Structure 1
Amino acid sequence: MKAARSLIVALGCIAAPALAQDTDPQEPGFGEISCLVEPGRQAALSSQVPGVIERIDVQAGARVASGDPLFSLMRDVESASVDLERSRAAYASRRMQRNQRMIERNMLSESERDEIDTELRLARLQVNLANARLQQLTTRAPFDGWVSERLAEEGEFVDATPVLELVQLDPLRIEAALPLAAYGRIAVGDVIEVTLSSPVEQRYSAEVILVDPVIDASSGTFALAMRLANPDEQIPAGIGCELGGIVDEGES
């Protein structure tokens, strides 16, 4: 592990070059940069196909697991289609059974055998297709998380309109804009001390997951993203924070 280095050193050159000669750059609070705690993942969920919402299974604030059903569209037509295709497949299967002895004795021509076999295989594929269309009417959670907002109600017609918003709180994502002088001093894998604002007001260590290679010319800053573990999901998203120093360097 390399020796720890402070992010504040990079900031002192811009924020107060005169003070840098007289002030210890490791002093807490010197050159601190504001940041924002955001959900690790967030998604506005809509339906795969247009239709009328039949049922919404969750409310805002609900905890969901990946794969849980969230809402469903009306499915009368699709359910009837599944029943129809299953009946056709059952008929094709019975026809195959009735002709099996004739097939074994080579009493049917090759084209007749091929027709019976193809009819059965196509019927089974149609059942699979009808089931897939039916399953499209139910939207499931793409990841573990919380329903942050309910944007539609049962009985509404939706197409690409978001119905629910889902957020993931473990891990959290922290974003900040750093001055140009800090560029090259921070790398992916570094661990930075972060002080969270109210209501948490505690210090944590966050791992750098992104150093934006594009500098914003108008502000002279670049974006930094970090991952903050939140296994108990006690840290809320949406609060402010301040960056301290680099407490551990990742492998270069």
Structure 2
Amino acid sequence: MKLRKTWMLGALLVAPMTVSYNSMANFDGLSNELAPLSCLLEPSRDIELSSEVQGVIREIRVNRGDSVKKGQVVMRLNSTLEVAAVNTVKARLEFAKRKVERNADLYRKNLISDNEQDEMLTEQRLAEFQLKEARVKLSQRETKSPISGVVIERIKDPGEFVDELPFLRIATLNPMHAEVVLPAELYGTVKKDEAVTLYPLNSQTPYEGKVKIIDPIIDAASNTFAVTVSLNNDSGALSAGVRCQVEFKG
């Protein structure tokens, strides 16, 4: 299963913004009560799922808009051959075990050689290894969600062939992230875990968040750097793609 993280840059999706602050930088630091800055709400994780192996989809157990839990089975491939292989190896293992048990008394009485006993035990161990392998191959015929979130796109349907290309897209909406672009002059003044207040443009309710990520590199072309703010979204009131404003309290 291959995961691909999707990044949406607020600088590309939000109209050009003017960043203002009450006093410019000096060498001793910034007096940085910032005016509200433009931002964009994004999922904290946005991944595309693909199958670990190729095959024809037997069932996809979720639809667009459905909530999923981490570890939940979301897709199964046709697995007739894999199930048959597991059953075959199980029968071989059971036979090998019965053979060892039947000959245990003969071995204790020295009626069979050490070599014959070793061959029977080896057959049993090989069958155990083959059963583990068959079960792994069978488990690869289903895909589990690596995160809790919401299905935002179902790319494939039952009956279609799936390979390394994605068949499902899942986003985590709790916590929610907001991407903020700041001028390079403010680099070093914003701290990780610093408290911020965020105002979605479609709501009058303010939300409290914390700085989660500060880009370690300043973009030379725009002379800016990005900050990611994390917000609790237990209520589900925040929606990805909504523009917002954020105030740093620092």
- Deviation at residue 25 of structure 1 after TM alignment: 7.2
TM-superposition CA deviations, 1:65-108 (whole Å, max 9, x none) = 11211111111111111111111111111111111112333433
Counterpart of 2:48 in structure 1 is: 44
Separation (CA, whole Å) in 1 of partners of 2:32 and 2:102: 88
Amino acid at match of 1:128: K
Unaligned 5+ segments in structure 1 are: 1-8, 15-23, 248-252
TM-superposition CA deviations, 1:20-51 (whole Å, max 9, x none) = xxxx975xxx6321111111112101100011
Q: Kindly report structure 1 stretches of 4+ aligned residues shifted beyond 4 Å.
A: none
Counterpart of 1:192 in structure 2 is: 196
Counterpart of 2:21 in structure 1 is: 11
Contact 1:93–1:120 (CA under 8 A) maintained in structure 2 = yes
TM-superposition CA deviations, 1:166-209 (whole Å, max 9, x none) = 111111111111101111111111111111121x3321111111
Separation (CA, whole Å) in 1 of partners of 2:32 and 2:114: 87
Unaligned 5+ segments in structure 2 are: 1-18, 25-30
Contact 2:199–2:206 (CA under 8 A) maintained in structure 1 = yes
Pick from 98, 113, 124: which aligns with 1:94?
98
Amino acid at match of 1:245: F
Contact 1:11–1:181 (CA under 8 A) maintained in structure 2 = no
Pick from 142, 156, 174: which aligns with 1:152?
156
Separation (CA, whole Å) in 2 of partners of 1:36 and 1:166: 19
Separation (CA, whole Å) in 1 of partners of 2:119 and 2:43: 56
Give the TM-score of the pair, scaled to structure 2. Answer: 0.85
* RMSD of aligned residue pairs (Cα, Å): 2.2
Give the TM-score of the pair, scaled to structure 1. Answer: 0.84
Separation (CA, whole Å) in 2 of partners of 1:234 and 1:96: 64
- Deviation at residue 110 of structure 1 after TM alignment: 2.5
Contact 1:44–1:164 (CA under 8 A) maintained in structure 2 = yes
Counterpart of 1:182 in structure 2 is: 186
Are residues 32 and 113 of structure 1, via their aligned partners in 2, closer, same or farther at CA, if it must alter by over 3 Å? same
Pick from 226, 229, 240: which aligns with 1:226?
229
Counterpart of 1:55 in structure 2 is: 59
Contact 1:81–1:130 (CA under 8 A) maintained in structure 2 = yes
Contact 2:45–2:172 (CA under 8 A) maintained in structure 1 = yes
Separation (CA, whole Å) in 1 of partners of 2:121 and 2:147: 42
Separation (CA, whole Å) in 2 of partners of 1:207 and 1:139: 34
Pick from 166, 171, 178: which aligns with 2:170?
166
Separation (CA, whole Å) in 2 of partners of 1:105 and 1:98: 13
Counterpart of 1:71 in structure 2 is: 75
* 1:206 aligned counterpart, secondary structure: strand
* 2:21 aligned counterpart, secondary structure: helix
- Deviation at residue 10 of structure 1 after TM alignment: 7.8
